[in-house]
Structure 1
Amino acid sequence: MKRIFADFHIHLGSTSEGKPVKISASKNLTLSNVLHTAFQHKGIQMVGIIDCHVPAVIRELEEAVEKGEISEHRDGGLIKDRGCLIPGSEIEIYDENCNGPIHVLVFLPYLNCMKHFSSWLGERMTNHHLSSQRFYGSATELQEKTKELGGLFIIAHAFTPFKSLYGRGVVKSMEEVFKPELIDAIELGLSCDTHMAGQLGELEKHTFLSNSDAHSLEKIGREYQAIDMEDLSFKELSLALKGKEGRKIVVNYGLHPQLGKYYRTCCAKCGVLIKEEETLKCAHCEKGRIVKGVSNRIKELSDTASASSPEKRPPYTHHVPLEFIPGLGPRMLEKLRRQFGTDMEVIHSVSDEELREILPNQVVDKIIESRNGTIPLKEGGGGHYGKLN
């Protein structure tokens, strides 16, 4: 059994020809740049690229297969060098049951499946040539199509205030929108961890994922998971999400929720954090729109009497990406990669003594604090990331 690192929510900003894919993502997020950064720099062995329904992206992948640069695994997934790409699609649902929008992720095993899915979406979207577009149909219809094609259906960033299942305050239970038995995993999002999500009893049977939702190259792997699997393939991923045949998610690694953009209720205009006992009006600027924090929303939804953390639930380790470490700039990060290989090596394997040989002591101290979960934080909210002190 191999232990690999995986991040299943990575966007493409543009195609190799410069055509836009995800409008809000960096143009440097091309297919080749994403795979090189993830596999060679970050040390991530399995990635989910969630814009693969876009016809131009499908053509680019097909051309790479024809040239022998990428190969399709017999059990699903696309293999390049030392890593595996799982083709996916982020889709916005807005049906009568949810009064959305809600984002979901669909992953499919083979390019021909994605090509069929893209054509099917083209009849149910205004523009399927871009990422994260609105789906004109019911959530259950999308779930059933995913399963018809042998795919995986995942709820995206489930608690964020915008475009999520629970965050908008409209939906109180997944059964209002989805068929729970057709959900393969719940993506927690940057302002939530396992302990917080575990306060909802209906999530007890569901696998949790911690993914980056990367809109730039350096954000790849800011949240990820360690998975035990025999081989890099779609089939192995499916088994791991179900915890079958020894395949399983071993650890979720994610930002401390307080570092997330939406942890606390906050004024989106001036950034002032709003205390729970205060009314949802900013007393500081009197103009700002109040954004309810994930921590506050989970308290509203909490049913701790029925909630529990099952024994099979993997631990959640609060992780600080190297680019977040105070004093560790791009040049120093590049020096670390030249010396030790990948970010995963630096975060998980390199000793304190080895780090002190090439980094200032104060930077190493922050990395150690990060590993131990003792680094002091300033809470984030309202679209503003928290900070390391």
Structure 2
Amino acid sequence: MIDTFFVDLHIHIGRDWNGKPVKITGSKSLTLSNILEEATNRKGLDMVGVIDAQAPAVQEEMIDLIDRGQAHELKEGGIRYEDTVLLLGSEIEVYDAACSGPIHVLCFFPTVNRMRAFTTWLSQKMKNVNLSSQRFYGTARELQQYVKEHEGIFIPAHVFTPFKSLYGKGVKETLREVLDPDKIDAVELGLSADTGMADLIGELEPYTYVTNSDAHSLGKLAREYQQMALKALNFEELQMALHNQQGRKVLTNYGMSPAMGKYHQTVCAKCLSPAKLSASHCEACGSEKIVKGVKDRVQELKSSTQKKERPPYIYQVPLSSLPGVGTRTYEKLMEAFSTEMAVIHEVSREELRAVIPEQVVERIIAMRKGTLTIQAGGGGHYGRIQ
């Protein structure tokens, strides 16, 4: 029987179990064990993708959890920990001769052994497999071929981000410049774009869109995620959902309004004033350094409008980022309703009123409906809720 599940496929490891950095910009508390605890007991996520699983020390911690009986590997792929299934992924930077700039991609594998083999292969083409998002010394198509030959999933990451993404710097006009279009399983939109923006690019029509947190701290888990229709929680079911097979699919994308993204609008890099893409300098301060926003980049790439019917895209922010939800209010909500997913999606208005002030209840309901008012971000600074 088909059921629904909440899924976030892009979570970094800040430190391994020896305390050594994996994602250097990631929080020290962002360890594998802490991610699993947070996902299961606070966020209410059913499936999470850890995208630094190529690091040997991260694999050691996974194997230790399995050996101690706290987790077990599924025959259909993935690792179950309490109520959450972990997927093993790796974010990799590619900058081959076909690229105009570096791009980031996500590679997922069904088992620990498959990921360990990937690490061995990467160690011949990467300077440091112990760290996150490292440069791959090979072509993007070569990487795609390996992933497909070893039963993996290949997803271009945050494809519109101005830096280190497919459309931000990687290609001039089309993904075919860099990637084999037949070896892409889905496309990750990133924090500065939504379905409506991506649908302006005709060549993306064949692909399912995923919305993920790209979390660098525990609190950022599930700042973007999706609800999926699956028969069970495992790698094979996810793969089917990404290709809309036999009733498995993405039902709803939940993510920040593109206006919240720190690269949404074109701005002056010095004073962050909104700027016209055609301007030679900032009208406010005179600086000649203008950072192109995702909104303008999508317009440059705009081609035939897609006809494919897409799942709804609902604008949300992390519960703790909602005005009025401070530490005490957040803890009251967790004590009463256990997880963020329960608060955001399941708890009635009347139940919320019994725990928190009315104005905060109305903000949660507005977030549930996707009707929050946003002040746009840009130039590396996030937008904010008004």
What is the TM-score of this pair, normalised by structure 2?
A: 0.97
1:73 — aligned with what? 74
1:307 — aligned with what? 305
Question: Offset at 1:75?
Answer: 0.6
Separation in 2, partners of 1:74, 1:212: 27
2:194 — aligned with what? 193
Q: Is the 8 A contact 2:191 2:255 kept in 1?
A: yes
Question: Offset at 1:234?
Answer: 0.4
1:16 — aligned with what? 17
2:5 — aligned with what? 4
2:173 — aligned with what? 172
1:320 — aligned with what? 317
In structure 1, give the amino acid aligned to 2:383. G
Separation in 2, partners of 1:164, 1:271: 22
Q: What SS is found at the alignment partner of 2:168?
A: coil
Q: Is the 8 A contact 1:165 1:171 kept in 2?
A: no
In structure 1, give the amino acid aligned to 2:376. E
In structure 2, give the amino acid aligned to 1:33. N
Question: Offset at 1:161?
Answer: 0.4
Question: Offset at 1:281?
Answer: 2.2
Q: Deviations over 1:37-71 (max 9, x none)?
A: 11110010100000000111111111211111111
In structure 2, give the amino acid aligned to 1:290. I
2:352 — aligned with what? 355
Separation in 1, partners of 2:112, 2:190: 27
Structure 1 unpaired stretches of 5+? none
1:297 — aligned with what? 297
Separation in 2, partners of 1:168, 1:335: 44
1:337 aligns with 2:334: yes
Q: What SS is found at the alignment partner of 2:113?
A: helix
Question: Offset at 1:100?
Answer: 2.2
Q: Deviations over 1:49-107 (max 9, x none)?
A: 00000111111111211111111000100111001000000000000001321000000
Q: Is the 8 A contact 1:97 1:176 kept in 2?
A: yes
Q: Is the 8 A contact 1:54 1:129 kept in 2?
A: yes
1:114 — aligned with what? 115
Q: How many residues align?
A: 385
2:182 — aligned with what? 181
Q: Which moved more, 1:89-98 or 1:322-331?
A: 322-331
Question: Offset at 1:138?
Answer: 0.4
In structure 2, give the amino acid aligned to 1:310. K
Q: Is the 8 A contact 2:171 2:178 kept in 1?
A: no
Question: Offset at 1:146?
Answer: 0.4
Q: Deviations over 1:7-33 (max 9, x none)?
A: 000000001220110001101100111
Separation in 2, partners of 1:229, 1:214: 24
1:222 — aligned with what? 223
Structure 2 unpaired stretches of 5+? none
Q: Deviations over 1:252-304 (max 9, x none)?
A: 1111111111110112332211145x50522323347321111000000001x
What are the within-5 Å matches in structure 2 for residues 142-153 of structure 1? Answer: 142-153=143-154
Q: Is the 8 A contact 1:5 1:226 kept in 2?
A: yes
**RMSD of aligned alpha carbons:** 1.3
Separation in 2, partners of 1:33, 1:63: 14
Q: What SS is found at the alignment partner of 2:169?
A: coil
In structure 1, give the amino acid aligned to 2:202. G
Q: Is the 8 A contact 1:202 1:307 kept in 2?
A: no
Separation in 2, partners of 1:351, 1:336: 13
